Amino acid sequence: MKRILIVLGVVALIGLIAFRLIDNKKVIDDAKTPKAVFQTTPVVEVQAVTFEKLDQNLSLLGTVEARNEGNIIAETRGKLTGFNLVLGTQVGKGQRVGYIQDEVQGIVLQNSQTAVDNAKREMERYERLYQGGAVTQEAYQKLKDQYNNTLISEKQQKRVLGNGAVVAPISGYVYDKKVENGEYVQVGAVLASVINLNQLKLVVNVPEQAVYQLKIGDQARVTAQAFPGVVFTGAVHYISPKGDALHNYPVEVYLNNNAKNQLKAGTLANASFTFKQGVNGLFIPRRALVGGADSASVYVVQNDIARLRRVKLGYDNGDQYQVLDGLQQGEPIVVNGQLNLTNGSKVTVSNSTASR
């Protein structure tokens, strides 16, 4: 028994020594293995705020609209008849394109006409009686007034029925149709829409610094990608007295369409203006913005800390925004990597354009 205990003790001691050796080897191996170092500081790209002066030729993108556009409207209620317009049909101003039949109103007119006939007979009878001295002048005048009132009522009913004629408000082409022939329509219902593309307008938003250099009648060169190389000549017809939140002012340029290269309403086009002075100021890349243009912010890097700052934007030339307030020339702003940032984040700048 004693020998067995000695053997068990020796085995246990050997196992403990082996465990110790294995554990020590693991510690040594771990110490030799290089550990991965993870970058926890966001890496950003910055760019300095620059002062720029745009040239005197300013090109602005806008949308072509028709100057003459209108709806064919029902002026009375009833059943629509003779309304055979199809999309693309050319109509002339005042052209009758259908008729609205109001059966109820027709019955009312018939009753009005009957009332006129009855009132006329009664008035003529009283006229004879008055001439014979059988009735007073007052009684005759009362019947005469009743007759005149029925005539007025009849004219009004005829006018209502006359409104049943459906006419085109302008000359042009039908581009939308709301109802079909035979449908029952209500007063004021839009039956179809007509557009005239002979005379167009291009609506563009002009920045504050440029709008004060514009005046009514100034010429503009209008071009569209739909017709490369074709130039439409336009003139400034309207300058809005009120700008939007970004200090841009809607301006309408009137132009005549080209019969050979006819623009369509809704087409994007550029209006080019020539100014005596250019547009200048601080500019930042569009990609630097955080949030929408009406509530824009940018990250400004100071001592490797990104600070979120609100800015007031002005002229938009597509790739850049003019900054009216919130930044100074030369300040480094984040142009790439904003998604990983919050206000006060420590950052690593990947380029050397930041000034600290």
Question: What string of DSSP letters covers 127-182?
Answer: HHHHHTTSS-HHHHHHHHHHHHHHHHHHHHHHHHHHTTEEE-SSSEEEEEE---TT
Strand partners, 298: 309
User: Given this model, what pLDDT does residue 108 score?
Assistant: 63
Of 26-35, 145-154, 190-199, 209-218, highest mean pLDDT: 190-199
Place 327 in a pLDDT band, splitting at 50, 70 and 90.
Answer: very high
Binning pLDDT at 50, 70 and 90, where does residue 198 land? very high
Given the structure tokens 């109103």, which residue do they identify?
105
Mean pLDDT of the chain: 83
pTM of the model: 0.55
Whether 191 shows a pLDDT value over 70: the answer reads yes
DSSP state of 32: H
Q: How confident is the model at residue 245 (pLDDT cuts 50, 70, 90)?
A: confident
Residues 123, 307: Cα–Cα separation, whole Å: 94
Structure tokens at 163: 């409104």
Strands (E), 127-180: 165-167, 172-177
Give the three-class secondary structure for 9: helix
Residue range(s) of every CATH 2.40.420.20 domain in the chain: 45-54+280-349
Classified by CATH at the fold level, domain 45-54+280-349 comes out as 2.40.420
| CA-to-CA separations, 147 to 106, 123, 142, 194, 264, in angstroms, rounded | 21, 7, 9, 44, 57
With CA atoms as reference, report the closest residue to 239 among 216, 270, 261, 260: 216
Fold held by 57-67+196-274: Elongation Factor Tu (Ef-tu); domain 3 (2.40.30)
- For residues 127 and 140, the answer to whether their CB atoms sit within 8 Å is yes
Q: Where in the chain is the domain with CATH 2.40.30.170?
A: 57-67+196-274
- What are the tokens at 346? 């420590």
Alpha helices in 232-347 (DSSP H): none
